[in-house]
C-alpha cells in the first residue's frame, strides 16, 4: 500500500461514502509532508473517528471550515491526524484510499487495515529524517495548535506556501528541535550518533510567577534512531501534549 498519483476527483457523495465506510474502523495512515511527494511516508495505525454529527460534518465540508471533522486516533485515543473542513478531499489508489491534502506539500492517505496487517520492517534513520518525521506526525495531529522551532522541513511548511521566510533561518546551535502545544513543550536533541534525547516541560503562571516542571517519559528520555523508536517517541509526545501523564515522572519545578 504505497503512495502514487493515480487520483480521482470524486463527487462529494463519493467522498462521504468512502469516509463513512472508515468510521470507527481500524485504518492505516500514510503521512507525507515534503515538497517531494514521492518519498517514504510516515506509516501509523489507528482508528478513524468522526468528530461531529453527520449533518455538521456536511456543513463544515461545504463551508470549508477550519474546525475539525475527523480524527484518526492511536490505541490510547490520541490524535495521529486531524481533518478539517478546509482540507481538499480525493479518492486515491484506485479509489481504495481516502486522501486529504492539507496543502500541496502535505497529504494524508487513509486505507483500510486488514486483520493480519503487519508493520513495515525496521528502518534506520538519521537525525534529520527523524525530526522531519516528528514534524509530520505532530502537525498532522495538532494542526494549527502546534508550534515548532525551527521547522525541520521549512520548505514543506505553511509559511513556504505563502512565500514567508522561516522564523529560524537554520538549525539551532545545539541542533535541537522544539515542538509545543499550549503550555507543553517537547525538545528533541541528538544523543550520540544513533539516538535522540527528549525533554518534556510543562509551564504555568501562578500569582505572576512562571513555573516549569520537567517530566521524564515512562521508558526514559533516550530513543534510538529507528522507525520503531520514533513511533514510540511520537506516542509519548502525543500523550504529554494531551495531558495523559501516566507513567511520566516529574523531575523539577522552578
| 139 and 226 belong to one structural domain | yes
Evaluate whether residue 1 is within a structural domain: no
On the 0-12 / 13-18 / 19+ scale of CB atoms within 10 A, 232 is: middle
The neighbour count for residue 16, using CB atoms within 10 Å, is 16
| 90 and 135 belong to one structural domain | no
CB 128 within 8 Å of CB 232: no
Q: What is the rounded average pLDDT for all residues in the chain?
A: 89
| 82 and 132 belong to one structural domain | no
Evaluate whether residue 73 is within a structural domain: yes
| 70 and 139 belong to one structural domain | no
Evaluate whether residue 97 is within a structural domain: yes
User: Domain containing 52 — which CATH number?
Assistant: 2.30.29
Task: Among 81, 112, 143, identify where a domain stops.
Answer: 112
Structure confidence by residue, pLDDT tens digits, 50-97: 999 999 998 998 899 999 999 999 999 999 999 999 999 888 877 788
pLDDT at 9 over 70: no
Confidence of residue 4 (pLDDT cuts 50, 70, 90): low
Confidence of residue 1 (pLDDT cuts 50, 70, 90): very low
Q: What is the DSSP string of 223-235?
A: EESBHHHHHHHHH
| 27 and 100 belong to one structural domain | yes
Structure confidence by residue, pLDDT tens digits, 107-156: 999 999 876 566 778 999 999 999 999 999 999 999 999 999 999 999 98
Please give the pLDDT value at position 177. Answer: 96
| 51 and 148 belong to one structural domain | no
Please give the pLDDT value at position 254. Answer: 53
Task: Among 68, 83, 112, identify where a domain stops.
Answer: 112
Q: What is the DSSP string of 59-87?
A: HHHHHT-SSEEEEEE-TTS-EEEEEETTS
Number of domains making up the chain? 2
| 169 and 234 belong to one structural domain | yes
Evaluate whether residue 120 is within a structural domain: no
Q: What is the mean pLDDT of residues 21-44?
A: 93
- The pTM of the full predicted model, rounded to 2 decimals, is 0.89
Q: Who's near 158: CB < 8 A, 6+ residues apart?
A: 103
Please give the pLDDT value at position 10. Answer: 61
In whole angstroms, give the CA distance from residue 79 to residue 218: 19
Evaluate whether residue 170 is within a structural domain: yes
Evaluate whether residue 121 is within a structural domain: no
Asked whether the bond before 150 is cis by omega within 30 degrees of 0, the reply is yes
Pairing of strands 146-149, 97-103: unpaired
Task: Among 50, 79, 112, identify where a domain stops.
Answer: 112
Strands (E) in the chain, as ranges, are 26-33, 42-50, 68-73, 79-84, 88-92, 97-103, 106-112, 146-149, 177-181, 184-190, 195-206, 209-216, 222-224, 249-253
On the 0-12 / 13-18 / 19+ scale of CB atoms within 10 A, 83 is: buried
Q: Who's near 45: CB < 8 A, 6+ residues apart?
A: 26, 27, 28, 29, 74, 113, 117, 119
| 158 and 239 belong to one structural domain | yes
Domain hosting residue 62, numbered range: 12-112
The neighbour count for residue 25, using CB atoms within 10 Å, is 13
* C-alpha cell of residue 222: 533516550
| 103 and 147 belong to one structural domain | no
Evaluate whether residue 5 is within a structural domain: no
3-state secondary structure of 213: strand
Evaluate whether residue 160 is within a structural domain: yes
Q: What is the mean pLDDT of residues 12-24?
A: 87
| 158 and 249 belong to one structural domain | yes
Q: What is the mean pLDDT of residues 190-196?
A: 95
| 40 and 86 belong to one structural domain | yes
pLDDT at 236 over 90: yes
In whole angstroms, give the CA distance from residue 162 to residue 125: 30
Scan for cell 516528528, then name that residue: 134
| 246 and 135 belong to one structural domain | yes
Give the lowest-confidence range in 24-33, 65-74, 161-170, 212-221: 161-170
Hey, what's the torsion of the CAs at 30, 35, 38, 41, to 10 degrees?
-20
Among residues 143, 144, 160, which one has the least CA distance to residue 152?
160
Amino acid at each position: 500500500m504505497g503512495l502514487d498519483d493515480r487520483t480521482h476527483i470524486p463527487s462529494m457523495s463519493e467522498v462521504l461514502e468512502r469516509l463513512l465506510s472508515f468510521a470507527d474502523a481500524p485504518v492505516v495512515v500514510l503521512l507525507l509532508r515534503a515538497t517531494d511527494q514521492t518519498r517514504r511516508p510516515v506509516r501509523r495505525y489507528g482508528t478513524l473517528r468522526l468528530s461531529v454529527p453527520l449533518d455538521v460534518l456536511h456543513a463544515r465540508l461545504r463551508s470549508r471550515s477550519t474546525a475539525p471533522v475527523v480524527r484518526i486516533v492511536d490505541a490510547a485515543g490520541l490524535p495521529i491526524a486531524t481533518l478539517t473542513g478546509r482540507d481538499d478531499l480525493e479518492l486515491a489508489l484506485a479509489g481504495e484510499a481516502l486522501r486529504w491534502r492539507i496543502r500541496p506539500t502535505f497529504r494524508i492517505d487513509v486505507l483500510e487495515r486488514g486483520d493480519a496487517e503487519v508493520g513495515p520492517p525496521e528502518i534506520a534513520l538519521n537525525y534529520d529524517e527523524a525530526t522531519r518525521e516528528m514534524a509530520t506526525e505532530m502537525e498532522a495531529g495538532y494542526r494549527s495548535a502546534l508550534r515548532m522551532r525551527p521547522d525541520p522541513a521549512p520548505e514543506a511548511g505553511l509559511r513556504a506556501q505563502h512565500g514567508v521566510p522561516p522564523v529560524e533561518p537554520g538549525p539551532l546551535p545545539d541542533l535541537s528541535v522544539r515542538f509545543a502545544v499550549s503550555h507543553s513543550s517537547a525538545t528533541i536533541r541528538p544523543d550520540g550518533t544513533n539516538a535522540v534525547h527528549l525533554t518534556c516541560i510543562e509551564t504555568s503562571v501562578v500569582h505572576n510567577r512562571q513555573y516549569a516542571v520537567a517530566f521524564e517519559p515512562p521508558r526514559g528520555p533516550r530513543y534510538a534512531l529507528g522507525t520503531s523508536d520514533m513511533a514510540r517517541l511520537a506516542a509519548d509526545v502525543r500523550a504529554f501534549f494531551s495531558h495523559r501523564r501516566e507513567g511520566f515522572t516529574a523531575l523539577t519545578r522552578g
